[in-house]
Structure 1
Amino acid sequence: MDDMQDRRFPVGAGILLGLGLGGFFDGIVLHQILQWHHMATSAGLPADTLSNLRLNVMLDGFFHAATYLFTAAGLFLLWRDARKEHFRWSARLLFAAMLMGFGLFNLVEGVVDHHLLGLHHVNETVPREQWVYWDIGFLVWGAAMLVGGWAFYRGGRASHPA
């Protein structure tokens, strides 16, 4: 690997941190605080019985464990690269990469869990015919973060060569 490649900002670390933060936001805010849905509430396991709620909370825990692994991997990559000789990194690049990761989380989770698998929907507390609007809004929010993060990253790379 050439010297300049070793000095580049570790965008993968920021994306992993953003994926983890996106997952934590979803799990903590939407699953736990607002209780709009749990992991499998639209997959035949509505949280209307104690046994279904217990299973959904366990699945939410596995989901949180995965987001924890994304965050830990991002921190490890950032720490590993921070120990190398490098140019001063920009906070803008870190924010941009994390924003891209958060947006990527929303897009992948929204497409896979909400639309393809139908495991749950963003807001299951509203009438069923409105669920699709919340799901689409979640995707638009994710796309806006991904595109905005990419724009910040490109601007940051132009003003910060390393």
Structure 2
Amino acid sequence: MEENVYPKRQSNGTTRSIYINRNLWSGILFGIGLVAFIDETVFHQLLHWHHFYDKSTKAIGLVSDGFFHAFSWFATVGGLFMVADFRRRNAWLPMRWVGGVLLGAGGFQFYDGTIQHKLMRLHQIRYNVQILPYDMVWHITSIIMIIIGIVLVIRSAKKIRQMGAAS
């Protein structure tokens, strides 16, 4: 992926660092929304394995899913609005953004699997089965996304430094 140049109306290094950081945060926001949307769609709606909140009635579980779905779409759309702004300003850094997406997705999935599943016990991935294989896949997938995200963010930072030194 080729990194774009910074905003055409750039006046100093502060402007540059603002857009570099915002690209990362936009990706993180989009990644959180994307993985939350996939979780809610696949595990909650299609497979019926659990609801966002399983400690009450099915009706409460469905309401909690609705709030979770709204959260995921607000995060996803918010991240994409930021990308549209970056593209308009010629400040979109695709590799950094994709790294942020993977960090957000992996971080949210790891949070969900550790805090919401194990610590708070809001729900499990699945019930009435041997849960260890499901937990392992959940956590390994999240860690892989986080590692790849970190690698992409580091690579993009190196490219950004090289581009700054060349100009």
Q: Name the TM-score class by shorter chain.
A: 0.7 to 0.9
Aligned pairs, number: 149
Kept after mapping to 1: 8 A contact 2:20/2:93: no
Give, in whole Å, the separation in 1 of the partners of 2:131 and 2:98.
31
Kept after mapping to 2: 8 A contact 1:38/1:57: yes
Q: Report the equivalent of 1:31.
A: 44
Residues 160 and 120 of structure 1: is their aligned pair in 2 closer, same or farther, counting only changes over 3 Å?
same
SS of alignment partner, residue 120 of structure 1: coil
| Equivalent runs, 1:90-105 vs 2, <5 Å | 90-105=93-108
5+ unaligned residues in a row in structure 1: which ranges?
Answer: 46-51
1:107 has 2:110 as partner: yes
Q: Report the equivalent of 2:26.
A: 13
1:63 has 2:68 as partner: yes
| Equivalent runs, 1:81-92 vs 2, <5 Å | 81-86=86-91, 89-92=92-95
Q: Report the equivalent of 1:137.
A: 137
Kept after mapping to 2: 8 A contact 1:14/1:98: yes
5+ unaligned residues in a row in structure 2: which ranges?
Answer: 1-12
| Equivalent runs, 1:40-59 vs 2, <5 Å | 40-41=53-54, 43=55, 45=56, 52-59=57-64
CA offsets, 1:87-142, max 9 Å, x none?
xx443322221111100110111122101111111122x42xx2244224312211
CA offsets, 1:6-40, max 9 Å, x none?
45261100000000001001000111111111122
Q: Report the equivalent of 1:49.
A: none
Kept after mapping to 1: 8 A contact 2:32/2:105: yes
1:120 has 2:123 as partner: yes
The TM-score with structure 2 as length reference comes to 0.77
Give, in whole Å, the separation in 2 of the partners of 1:7 and 1:78.
11
Q: Report the RMSD for the aligned CA atoms in angstroms.
A: 2.2
CA offsets, 1:29-57, max 9 Å, x none?
1111111111222x2x3xxxxxx322211
Q: Report the equivalent of 2:3.
A: none
- The aligned amino acid for 1:149 is G
Give, in whole Å, the separation in 2 of the partners of 1:94 and 1:113.
26
